[in-house]
């Protein structure tokens, strides 16, 4: 399926979520919107679709306007950063961005309910890094430094609020979920790959910023690097494995561009992804019914699998960059055996009967947008 199918999916997403409409509210959700921005950019870059470009920029503005401000059902008003209207509009990410969940955040004296917390608002570090990534893509396509500036301001605000230090000041972790105003942790434990995602996204934003203090993220990068030391990246979660592969793709790209030199980390990401994939296949999870599968998580894996052959070509053509080239190519060769799983996942969720399952309908927007990303991954993987 080509651009026409992806365009149709993205137009449906825009219509249902009220993008650009004045007769209905704009229903924004940060993770989905980040992927959607990349999808719109991909349609523009690959097919010259100027309407898609307009949608990408409009989506950025609406996401900031909705998720950078307090909820309509909150007694607080205005920008969550506390800035006045004029300054808030110029710096919409300075206080972070809400997740966009249906329920309000848990108040400070409310008993914690793990199941209910999934549906409560707040801020997620791993959603913020996805939005930073999307803003960086917009900046590269438009050559407009405002978007990069917003990404850097978000990166600083997120690290300052989510990071955890020991008594000596050493960075040792990141909170998983913070309150809307970033004043208190809602879930203090750390997402397994949060520091990795942060390190790579911040590194990409930092690239080329020598001498530009406004874009400098050196302190944050030192902290994130400390947190990453000695971490085990293995996961048997489909979305997590896909994330490892897309992170590996981003890392290899920065290495060939001369912005990072992390061959051991790259090998670790690929080996962890391979081990997770082997385990999933042995468990036969992709033979389950639609009612027992989570589409957006599987589609995250599919997106990552689309990065494998791109990685293989990049490593093979840049032998001088990768000191452990043979080791990397050996792991990539093993991963290539699973690349066909991406199309199998896409075809499964394109079948009308599977799209009628509660797991598809209940998370329609994130499922649709990530399906579009998997069908046309250029905007997410290559910009």
DSSP E strand boundaries for the chain: 123-124, 163-165, 171-174, 177-178, 185-187
Looking at the structure, do residues 142 and 185 belong to the same domain, yes or no?
Answer: yes
Name the domain boundary from 229, 250, 278: 229
pLDDT for the residue 1: 54
- Say how far apart CA 63 and CA 92 lie, in whole Å: 10
pLDDT exceeds cutoff 80 at 209: no
Residue closest to 180 by CA, chosen among 76, 91, 84, 90? 76
* Tokens coding 161: 């609020």
In a domain, 293, yes or no: yes
pLDDT exceeds cutoff 90 at 212: no
For 345-365, how does the pLDDT look when each residue is reduced to its tens digit (9 = 90+)? Answer: 999 999 999 999 999 999 999
Looking at the structure, do residues 172 and 158 belong to the same domain, yes or no?
Answer: yes
Looking at the structure, do residues 130 and 194 belong to the same domain, yes or no?
Answer: yes
pLDDT for the residue 45: 97
Region of 169 please: left (phi>0), alpha (psi -120 to 50) or beta.
left
Looking at the structure, do residues 220 and 252 belong to the same domain, yes or no?
Answer: no
In a domain, 329, yes or no: yes
In a domain, 275, yes or no: yes
Looking at the structure, do residues 254 and 217 belong to the same domain, yes or no?
Answer: no
* Tokens coding 24: 């209905």
Asked if residue 363 lies in contact with residue 296, where contact means CB atoms within 8 angstroms, the answer is yes
pLDDT-derived band at 71 (thresholds 50, 70, 90) equals very high
Higher pLDDT pick, 371 / 211: 371
Inter-CA distances, 215 with 8, 136, 162, 318, Å: 37, 12, 20, 29
Looking at the structure, do residues 241 and 220 belong to the same domain, yes or no?
Answer: no
pLDDT exceeds cutoff 90 at 214: no
Please give the average per-residue pLDDT across 332-346, as a whole number: 98
Looking at the structure, do residues 197 and 167 belong to the same domain, yes or no?
Answer: yes
Torsion of CA 176, 179, 180, 181, to 10 degrees: -120
Q: How many structural domains comprise the chain?
A: 2
Which of these ranges, 22-31, 149-158, 329-338, has the smallest mean pLDDT?
Answer: 22-31
Looking at the structure, do residues 171 and 155 belong to the same domain, yes or no?
Answer: yes
pLDDT-derived band at 46 (thresholds 50, 70, 90) equals very high
Exposure of 343 in the CB half-sphere (CA atoms within 13 A) = 6
For 177-198, how does the pLDDT look when each residue is reduced to its tens digit (9 = 90+)? Answer: 999 999 999 999 999 999 999 9
Looking at the structure, do residues 364 and 239 belong to the same domain, yes or no?
Answer: yes
pLDDT for the residue 208: 64
- Say how far apart CA 96 and CA 79 lie, in whole Å: 10
Looking at the structure, do residues 254 and 352 belong to the same domain, yes or no?
Answer: yes
Looking at the structure, do residues 251 and 347 belong to the same domain, yes or no?
Answer: yes
C-alpha 121: how far from its chain's center? 18
**Lookup result for tokens 């942790």:** 185
In a domain, 270, yes or no: yes
Name the domain boundary from 200, 229, 258: 229
In a domain, 267, yes or no: yes
DSSP secondary structure letter of residue 171: E
- Say how far apart CA 381 and CA 374 lie, in whole Å: 10
Looking at the structure, do residues 180 and 275 belong to the same domain, yes or no?
Answer: no
pLDDT-derived band at 210 (thresholds 50, 70, 90) equals low
In a domain, 98, yes or no: no
Inter-CA distances, 139 with 1, 118, 153, 201, Å: 28, 32, 14, 14
pLDDT for the residue 360: 98
In a domain, 279, yes or no: yes
What does DSSP say about strands 163-165 and 185-187: parallel, antiparallel, or unpaired?
unpaired
Per-position b or e across 53-75, b if 16+ CB within 10 A of its CB: bebbbbbbebbbebbbbbbeeee
Name the domain boundary from 209, 229, 249: 229
C-alpha 237: how far from its chain's center? 16
For the chain, percent of residues with pLDDT exceeding 70: 98
In a domain, 49, yes or no: no
Q: Which domain holds residue 149?
A: 103-229
pLDDT for the residue 24: 82
pTM of the full structure: 0.98
pLDDT exceeds cutoff 70 at 43: yes
Mean pLDDT of the chain: 96
């Amino acid at each position: 399926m080509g651009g026409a199918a992806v365009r149709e999916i993205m137009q449906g997403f825009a219509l249902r979520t009220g993008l650009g409409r004045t007769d209905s509210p704009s229903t924004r959700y940060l993770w989905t919107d980040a992927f959607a921005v990349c999808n719109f950019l991909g349609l523009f870059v690959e097919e010259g679709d100027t309407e898609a470009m307009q949608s990408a920029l409009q989506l950025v503005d609406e996401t900031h306007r909705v998720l950078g401000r307090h909820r309509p059902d909150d007694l607080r008003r205005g920008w969550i950063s506390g800035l006045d209207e004029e300054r808030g509009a110029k710096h919409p990410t300075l206080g972070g961005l809400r997740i966009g969940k249906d329920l309000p955040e848990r108040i400070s004296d409310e008993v914690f309910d793990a199941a209910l917390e999934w549906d409560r608002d707040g801020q997620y570090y791993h959603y913020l890094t996805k939005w930073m990534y999307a803003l960086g893509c917009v900046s590269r396509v438009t050559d407009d430094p405002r978007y990069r500036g917003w990404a850097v301001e978000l990166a600083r605000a997120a690290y300052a609020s989510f990071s955890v230090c020991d008594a000596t000041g050493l960075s040792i972790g990141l909170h998983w979920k913070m309150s809307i105003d970033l004043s208190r942790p809602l879930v203090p434990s750390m997402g397994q790959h949060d520091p990795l995602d942060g390190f790579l996204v911040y590194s990409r934003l930092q690239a080329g910023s020598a001498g530009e203090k406004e874009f400098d993220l050196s302190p944050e990068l030192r902290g994130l690097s400390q947190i990453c030391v000695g971490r085990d990246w293995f996961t048997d979660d489909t979305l997590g494995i896909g994330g490892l592969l897309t992170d590996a793709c981003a890392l290899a790209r920065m290495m060939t561009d001369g912005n990072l030199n992390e061959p051991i980390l790259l090998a670790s990401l690929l080996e962890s992804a391979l081990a997770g994939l082997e385990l999933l296949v042995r468990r036969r999870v992709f033979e389950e019914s639609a009612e027992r599968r989570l589409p957006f998580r599987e589609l995250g894996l599919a997106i990552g699998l689309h990065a494998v052959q791109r990685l293989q070509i990049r490593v093979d053509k840049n032998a001088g960059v990768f000191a452990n080239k043979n080791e990397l190519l050996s792991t990539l060769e093993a991963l290539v055996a699973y690349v066909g799983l991406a199309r199998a996942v896409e075809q499964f969720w394109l079948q009308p009967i599977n799209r009628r399952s509660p797991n598809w309908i209940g998370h329609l927007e994130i499922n649709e947008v990530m399906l579009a990303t998997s069908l046309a991954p250029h905007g997410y993987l290559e910009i």
